[in-house]
């Protein structure tokens, strides 16, 4: 029994001494590996900083620029770690780390599915997306101007001042309406004139207003026109279509439309056109003589 205990003690002592000797042998290489990691991280930070200062500020595509900056830093750090393990003589450890990292990535992917989905969508959008910063877009029911692009969401500023953060996964899976992709957008409004008025003259007056408005697009490709839209209860409705430049959507598509409606109203009234409101027809059934009516001088009031 004593002999076995002594043998076990000697075996443990020899093992410790062997590991200690190997550690002393590998210590310079481990130190060099640590220096390689530190140098790699410093170089990665330096290069990323230079990239951000010189390129990111001038980039027309901030999401792509940020993605490339982060990708460059991550790749450099990974290369530094792998080189450090190789220098330290721990190439087998490097293989184990890569294997473990792959397994951890799968586990974390299931655990944080929504975050991972938005992040992957952000990477896809960095290379191909239907809008840029300052574009006016509509995603689902969210309508406004794009203020920022991130790997998890798109920041939209609505025209009533709300800040909405739309997940990138929604940007990929839901329809996206871009109102400023080519810089042009067609708007419309309806004008009602009396049945007794001259339709052709009214259309010509409206066309002249459109042609003389400097904020409306005038070229061969984008045509502004007016046509008869509906025979309503008390009016002949004319529909006015016009094109505007939408780089400043609020001014072009909203303010210009309001100004046109006012100009058309004033011009038609000046030419003597009747712009009636909706008229309600009252039908009386039975003996009308038993229903007394008194009409005031103000014909807008009819008392029973």
Burial class from Cβ neighbours inside 10 Å (0-12, 13-18, 19+) for residue 208 reads exposed
Of 196 and 297, which is predicted with more confidence? 196
Residue pLDDT, tens place only, 220-254: 888 899 999 989 888 899 999 999 887 777 777 77
The mean pLDDT of the chain is 75
Residue pLDDT, tens place only, 130-160: 888 888 888 888 888 888 887 778 889 888 8
User: Model pTM?
Assistant: 0.54
Greatest mean pLDDT among 56-65, 81-90, 119-128, 201-210: 201-210
In the chain, the domains with their CATH numbers are 2-111 (1.10.287), 130-178 (2.30.30.60), 184-270 (3.30.70.100)
The H-or-E segment that residue 124 falls in is: helix 113-127
Nearest to 193, CA basis, from 264, 242, 259: 264
Does 116 score more than 70 pLDDT?
A: no
Residues 110-126, mean pLDDT to the nearest whole number: 65
Residue pLDDT, tens place only, 151-192: 778 889 888 888 999 888 888 888 888 888 777 888 899 999
Burial class from Cβ neighbours inside 10 Å (0-12, 13-18, 19+) for residue 106 reads exposed
| pLDDT > 70 in the chain, percent | 62
Maximum pairwise Cα distance, the chain: 134
Residue pLDDT, tens place only, 248-287: 777 777 788 889 999 999 999 999 998 887 666 666 666 5
Burial class from Cβ neighbours inside 10 Å (0-12, 13-18, 19+) for residue 10 reads exposed
């Amino acid at each position: 029994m004593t002999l076995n205990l002594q043998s076990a003690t000697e075996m443990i002592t020899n093992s410790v001494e062997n590991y200690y000797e190997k550690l002393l042998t590998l210590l310079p290489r481990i130190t060099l590996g640590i220096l390689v990691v530190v140098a790699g991280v410093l170089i990665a930070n330096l290069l990323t900083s230079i990239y951000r200062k010189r390129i990111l500020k001038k980039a027309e595509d901030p999401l792509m620029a940020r993605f490339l900056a982060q990708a460059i830093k991550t790749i450099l750090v990974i290369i530094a770690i792998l080189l450090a393990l190789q220098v330290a003589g721990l190439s087998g450890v490097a293989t184990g780390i890569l294997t473990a990292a792959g397994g951890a990535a799968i586990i974390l992917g299931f655990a944080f599915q929504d975050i991972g989905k938005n992040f992957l969508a952000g990477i896809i959008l960095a290379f191909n997306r239907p809008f840029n910063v300052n574009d006016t877009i509509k995603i689902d029911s969210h309508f406004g101007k794009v203020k920022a692009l991130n790997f998890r969401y798109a920041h939209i500023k609505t025209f009533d001042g709300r800040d909405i953060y739309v997940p990138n996964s929604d940007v990929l899976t839901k329809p996206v309406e871009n109102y400023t992709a080519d810089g042009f957008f067609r708007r419309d409004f309806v004008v009602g004139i009396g049945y007794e008025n001259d339709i052709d003259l009214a259309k010509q007056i409206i066309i002249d207003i459109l042609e003389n408005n400097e904020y409306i697009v005038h070229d061969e490709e984008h045509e502004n026109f007016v046509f008869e839209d509906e025979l309503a209860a008390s009016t002949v409705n004319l529909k006015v279509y016009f094109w505007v430049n939408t780089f400043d959507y609020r001014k072009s598509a909203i303010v210009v439309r309001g100004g046109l409606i006012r100009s058309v109203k004033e011009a038609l009234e000046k030419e003597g056109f009747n712009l009636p409101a909706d008229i309600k027809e009252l039908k009386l059934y039975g003996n009308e003589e038993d229903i007394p009516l008194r009409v005031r001088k103000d014909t807008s009031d009819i008392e029973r």
